[in-house]
Every structure is written in C-alpha cells, then in structure tokens.
Structure 1
Amino acid sequence: MELSFAATVIHWRGPAPFYYARLPAEPAEAIARVRRTASYGWGAIPVTATIDGISFTTSLFPKDGTYLLPLKDAVRRRLGVTVDDVVMVDMTVGGAPREPDL
C-alpha cells in the first residue's frame, strides 16, 4: 500500500521523548484496514517513508485513533523540522523494519 499525505510534527514526552509525524484521519483509516496483515506485533506496522527526498524505514504505531510515524533525530535534523511543522510524506506500508537509510 502506498500513501501520500501532509502530517504535523509533534513531540511526545512519553517514557522515551521523541518526535513523530501524526497521520491524518484518511491515511490512518486506510492503514487500519490492513493492520492485521501488515503488523508484526503490538500493533506496530513497518513502513518506508520519504520526506523531502530523504527515505527511511521505521514502524508506525497506533496512538489515540491514528498512527504515529517516528522521526529519529538523524532524520529530523537532516530535514530541519521541529514541532508543529507540516511535512509531506510518501509512504509504503509493509516490509521488515530496519534502521533509516541516511
């Protein structure tokens, strides 16, 4: 499944503070329809995402009725994005999770 969308960057101060792109309703609903076959456990869903020409692999995870796309610091710094920035994301759902291609 391939998706394109605009997402707002948030900072979550959970047990491990991190930056995420919060998926809007439409792509989150599309992912929810395939979550059982796409997930490798705990609701995490492997994806390859591209933002401004920078591609990386990670796993989405469900949060508050949507999914969060983790933005590791190495990726976020290269993009120059921070909280409340809006990023355009091209994303392919599926595949094994691995470290970002930087």
Structure 2
Amino acid sequence: MIVEFEAELWEWDARRGDSWVFVSLPVEPSEEIRELTAGTRRGFGSVRVRARIGTTAWRTSIFPSGDGPYVLPLKRAVRTAQGLGLGDTAAVSVELLDAP
C-alpha cells in the first residue's frame, strides 16, 4: 500500500525543545493501515514504511496518534535537504513495508 498526500509540518508539543517534527497522514488511509496491519504492528503500534519527500527517501516508522491519523516523523536531515520548516506543506509518499 502506498499513500500519497500533502501535509503541514508540525512540532510535537510535549517535546518542543527536542525538535520532534511530524506530518499527519490522512484519516481514511490511517484507518485502512490499522486494518491491514492488525497483529503485525511493532513497538508503540508503529508500522515500518519507506517514505519520500521530494528527492529524499528513507526507511522509518509511522506511529498511531490514539484513534486519530498515523504520524510520520521528519528528521532534520530530511527537512534540511528539502528546505522545509515548521508550518510548510510537503508532498509525501509513504509505502507500507509491514503490510501482508
């Protein structure tokens, strides 16, 4: 399963000093991911993915945010390479690696 979407970069309120920056996946694909990966999720409910923003691709995990959408962490190297900052909107592609 591949999910392509545009989302605004946001900072996790609880860890502002640590610069934890994320984008949220859309709600409907998040629900589908929950169904597809039931029983195969990893620690903290994470799901392994291959992500891409612009010319930068990397392997990471997405994490559930309660009953809401999954969130994708964006490390500083990705943000720097693509010239992205908080509040910017990015075109994102996420491919599930744990889906059956």
TM-score, normalised via structure 2 length: 0.82
Partner of 1:99: none
SS at 2:45's partner residue?
Answer: coil
More strand by share: 1
1:75 aligns with 2:78: yes
SS at 2:48's partner residue?
Answer: strand
Report the CA distance between 1:60 and its aligned residue. Answer: 0.6
TM-score, normalised via structure 1 length: 0.81
Runs of 4+ with deviation above 2 angstroms: 13-17
Report the CA distance between 1:37 and its aligned residue. Answer: 4.5
RMSD: 1.7
Could you list the per-position Cα deviations for residues 22-79 of structure 1 after superposition, in whole angstroms to 9, with x for gaps in the alignment? Answer: 1121221221222325422320111101111210111111114111101001111111
* Gapped regions of structure 2 (runs ≥ 5): none
Would the alpha carbon gap of residues 41 and 19 (structure 1) be closer, same or farther in structure 2, given more than 3 Å must change?
Answer: same
SS at 2:80's partner residue?
Answer: helix
- What fraction of aligned residue pairs are identical, expressed as a percent? 33
Tell me how many residue pairs correspond in the alignment.
Answer: 95
Partner of 2:65: 63
Partner of 1:10: 10
* Gapped regions of structure 1 (runs ≥ 5): 96-102
Report the CA distance between 1:17 and its aligned residue. Answer: 3.7
Partner of 1:93: 96
